[in-house]
Amino acid sequence: MKEGKLILFCGPSGSGKTTITRHLLEHFPQLSFSVSATTRKKRASEVDGEDYHFLTVPEFKKKIETDQFVEWEEVYTDLYYGTLKSEIERIWNENKVVAFDVDVEGGMNIKKIYGNSLLAVFIKPLSVEVLRKRLTDRNTESPESLAIRIAKAELELTYTDKFDHIIVNDTLEHALEQAKALVKEFLTTPS
């Protein structure tokens, strides 16, 4: 199998990692987004195969049993997320650089596997309170799921020192500029 570079953006839900990743995909044509698999319900604006590969719990578990994931995690009971090996192979076969937008646990697993071929960036919110406001403003969370996401975010923030770079998302414009500079440097450095 052909191998290449990978770029990983991690951070708590609501940190801005998805917005930053989408911006980078628009500015760097050599990047291609690795579409994660999940068992969560599809939101109205989402497209299967573009935003996520939406799977049932039995389908996801079958892929675990047949070793089709680079990494996977049961984030909450019966709520799975994972990176399919076929996604990475697809992108490398297109001579592109894999771009990930995953949670911290998944990111740590990807980092263990790909090490020096990977640029690992942690997107850190200004504070947990700012994160709570962003998640509340999205209007996609119940009070229960919001509490769970905040608790998970507090745990994920303890992983910041395990990444190659940390971007504090104080303003989106500043975070985007920092992300572009890091990616440009990584893409122009020989493997």
**What are the tokens at 11?**
């951070």
Q: What is the pLDDT of residues 107-120, one digit of tens each?
A: 999 999 998 899 99
Q: Hey, what are 105's tokens? A: 């646990």
Q: Say if CB 146 and CB 14 are below 8 A apart.
A: no
When divided into structural domains, the chain yields a total of 1
3-state secondary structure of 34: coil
Report the C-alpha gap between 8 and 21 in whole angstroms: 9
Query: Range of 178's domain?
Result: 6-188
1 occurs within a structural domain: no
In this predicted model, which residue has the larger pLDDT, 144 or 94?
94
Q: Which helix (H) or strand (E) holds 122?
A: strand 118-125
Q: What is the pLDDT of residue 25?
A: 97
The answer to the question of residue 107 being in a domain is yes
Q: What are the distances in angstroms from CA 79 to CA 73, 146, 157?
A: 8, 15, 21
Encoded tokens for 29: 């044509």
Residue 130 placed within a domain? yes
Q: What is the pLDDT of residues 73-108, one digit of tens each?
A: 898 789 999 999 999 999 999 999 999 988 888 899
Mean pLDDT of the chain: 92
Domain annotation covers residue 21: yes
Q: Tell me whether residue 177 is in a domain.
A: yes
Here the CATH number for the domain that contains residue 170 is 3.40.50.300
Question: What's this model's pTM, rounded to 2 decimal places?
Answer: 0.86
Could you tell me if residue 180 is inside a domain?
yes
Which pLDDT belongs to residue 2?
Answer: 65
Sequence letter at residue 107: G
Strands 37-38 and 53-54: parallel
Would 18 be classed as within a structural domain? yes
Cα–Cα separations (whole angstroms), residue 142 to 94, 136, 137, 155:
40, 9, 12, 20
